[in-house]
Amino acid sequence: MRTTSENIDGIQWFHRVTLQDGRVTAGVVDVARHEGLYLFDRLDFKGKSVLDIGCWDGYFSFMAEQRGAKRVVSLDDPEFRWGGLDGYKFLHRHFQSRAEWCKGSIFALPRERFDIVLCYGVLYHINDPLTAMINCFHATLQEVVFEGVFYESREPTLFLLAPREFHDDPTNIYALSTGYLQKVAAMCGFELVETRTPKYAATRWRRFFRKVRPGYDRAALRFRRVGEMTPAYKASCFSLAPVTLNKA
């Protein structure tokens, strides 16, 4: 694989990525050092097809490809965020990638299915996480990983965030309980494989009495398909119906 001397200073980076010539992009999130927080390091990409929802600069897309994925689709819409496509395009050239960039949203996924679906940092920015999650599960043949503002609770609840309540960001809407994610997963034929959540106290006793602070918790949950199911809600229950996909 080649290196490049192209200028990276004029790009608004989100992901901090180490390039082949040793330089590091000036991203605000050092995902390379914290892959475990996304359960990304727990996935086997060899020979798999991958959908990366909300890919931004594409770190996870390009790393999945380098770890053996046979096909990667990177989905995002730069109109909904800052930074544009410059970072993704640069890394695509830099890594001589075959990943396919696709403009879309979690409500307008490609009408096909993928072995692995990555949904990092998306669900808490949208006002209909139920439809969004159903879409992700419909699009997944084997495994899906969600990461975001999730809090530990067996109750399937949502916590409404007022604009700028969390990190002064007006795009944050809901924090989701881990119980909520697991219940939707079960309705779609998935079981929980593993969870990565923050640890706040040194003892189980202190954790038991810790107040739930949904706006400050992050977690990643990995699910595996065990059945072919669709929630039996009526179409009238949705303001935006989930995407239906071919089963092949």
237 falls within a domain:
no
In-domain check, residue 200: yes
20 located within any domain: no
Q: Where are the beta strands (DSSP E) in the chain?
A: 49-53, 71-76, 100-103, 114-120, 140-148, 150-151, 158-160, 174-177, 190-196, 219-225
What kind and span of H or E run contains 187? Answer: helix 178-187
Which pLDDT score is estimated for 216?
Answer: 56
Q: Determine the Cα angle at 194 with ends 188 and 199, to 5°.
A: 125
What mean pLDDT do residues 182-204 have?
83
Q: Residue 200 has what pLDDT? A: 52
Asked whether residue 223 carries a pLDDT value surpassing 90, the answer given is: yes
Q: Count structural domains, the chain.
A: 1
Going by their DSSP bridges, the two strands 158-160 and 219-225 should be labelled as unpaired
Model pTM score: 0.90
Q: Is residue 40 part of a domain?
A: yes
Q: Is residue 55 part of a domain?
A: yes
10: number of CA atoms within 13 Å, CB side?
4
Per residue in 25-64, pLDDT tens? Answer: 998 989 999 999 999 999 999 999 999 999 999 999 999 9
Asked whether residue 204 is domain-assigned, the answer is yes
Confidence at residue 177, expressed as pLDDT on a 0 to 100 scale: 92
Q: Would 244 be classed as within a structural domain?
A: no
pLDDT for res 208? 53
Owning domain of residue 167 = 31-230
We report the CATH number of the domain holding residue 123 as 3.40.50.150
Percent residues over pLDDT 90 in the chain:
73
